[in-house]
Amino acid sequence: MRQKLLSEGAKELSYEIREIVKKAEKLKALGLPIYWENIGDPIQKHHRLPEWIKNIVAELAMENDVYSYCPSKGVLETREFLARQTNAMGGVKISADDICFFNGLGDAIAKVYQFLDQTSRIIGPSPAYSTHSSAEAAHASHEPLTYKLDPENHWYPDLDDLYKKVKYNPNVVGILIINPDNPTGMVYPLETLKRIVEIAREFNLFLIADEIYINITYNGTRAYSLAEIIGDVPGISMKGISKELPWPGARCGWVEYYNRGKDEDFNRFCQAIDNAKMIEVCSTKLPQLAWPKIVGDPRFKIYRDETNQSIGRRSKAISKILASVKEVTFNETNGAFYNTIIFRPGVLKPNQKLKIENADARNLVEKWVSADIPLDKRFVYYLLGAKGVCVVPISSFSSDLQGFRVTLLEEDETLLINIFESIRNGILEYVS
């Protein structure tokens, strides 16, 4: 090519949650049954939406207006509805103009990091959800900048680590929280959130809160929204319908800008994000029209509460199977629908194996593990080949810990138990 094509940052783009699927598909082609524990899609894991929700969508689909474009920032009535919901929390106040819709939150995340100055950094949690960490790292052409979530303390953030990294790195302009968190399922305690707001205030930073799971909590836990605690600090809350409805195929999410008026730089940054959407015209319209009708229906809260309780029951069932395995650190989760299981230091070694009956599958896995890969990825490939369970290695979440992420989504209880017993047996056989 006449000039270099690829940006330096492009090498930071990776998404193991889907990469692992390529490996699993190869084993599936050899006749192995695969249990997909890699992706947070409730519908793929046998969740059925109630008929009344489908009827709302079906009725909307019969209206001609649904097929046109909508305003760039999204359907006005829907943004007004969302602004009322946020204002009802009693914290920060916003108007419809402070909201912009995207084609899924993934689209919003890409835009937010894309328009940051290259030297400005957002520090985020580690283990890191790759959609954030990859996009942020790609914008900076540098590896992700992270603060630690501590598996020995319920996965709560290590606030000293965060404070020091913010203090001694003047390029940090913002702090990311994912609440409840993906991949750990941790819910940020109120005091922790307040402390993070204080740190942002002290160093003149803005906050980003990915709140796509904000209404998915259980086991008596409640997640606090950024809107409730942010005070007068600038911030962006990110929300969506992929998990809460759940309707991931709709590709619909939005951002809410808090305290835009408090800082001119921040205001211009928000304007750039809106402009980026404007040059694309607008985002998917049908789900925007459906959301207020669905959430505004009294049946929605009942449905969501029941769905959360089921996830909570599954978190307990998984805990029963894995919490006593002494080779791993296990934290029961209280939000979102993931669990990250960490091998204790020194447990994983380069010569460990699982027995794989199918000779072709064994050859394939042995080829994969002969490459220079992290030890948890080696375990994950063996688990896939031997037990057919597809999980995601935690080393791919910008973490120096060794472990793997599972989902809490399988709705068939017998299958759920079988899958997690297979995982437990896989761990025990692998390390013995």
CB of 237 to ligand PLP, least distance (A): 12
Nearest to ligand PLP of 248, 292 (CB atom): 248
**Residue type, position 154, single letter:** H
Nearer to ligand PLP, 192 or 283 (CB): 283
CA–CA dist 128, 125 (Å, integer):
5
Residues forming the site for ligand PLP (CB under 6 A): 40, 104-106, 129, 131, 178, 182, 210, 212, 240, 242, 248, 253
Nearest to ligand PLP of 129, 266 (CB atom) = 129
220: which residues sit within 8 A by CB, 6+ positions away? 334
Q: Residue 413: how many CB atoms within 10 A of its CB?
A: 12
CB of 26 to ligand PLP, least distance (A): 24
How far is residue 382's CA from residue 356's CA, in Å, rounded to a whole number?
8
The distance of closest approach from Cβ of residue 245 to ligand PLP in the complex, given in angstroms and rounded to an integer, is 11
In whole angstroms, the minimum distance from the beta carbon of 215 to ligand PLP comes to 13
Nearer to ligand PLP, 40 or 157 (CB): 40
> Two tokens at 204?
């003149």
- What are the b/e assignments for 98-109, b being 16+ CB within 10 Å? bbbbbbbbbbbb
How buried is residue 293: exposed, middle or buried, by Cβ count under 10 Å (0-12/13-18/19+)?
middle
Helix/strand/coil for 111: helix
Q: How far is the CB of 279 from ligand PLP (least distance, A)?
A: 20
Give CA 52 to chain center in angstroms: 28
Per the document, the length of the chain is 432
Alpha helices in 205-358 (DSSP H): 226-229, 264-278, 286-295, 298-322
Which residue's beta carbon is nearest to the bound ligand PLP? 104
In the complex, what is the shortest distance from the CB of residue 103 to ligand PLP, in angstroms, rounded to a whole number? 8
237 vs 402 by CB, closer to ligand PLP: 237
| Residue closer to ligand PLP (CB basis): 101 or 368 | 101
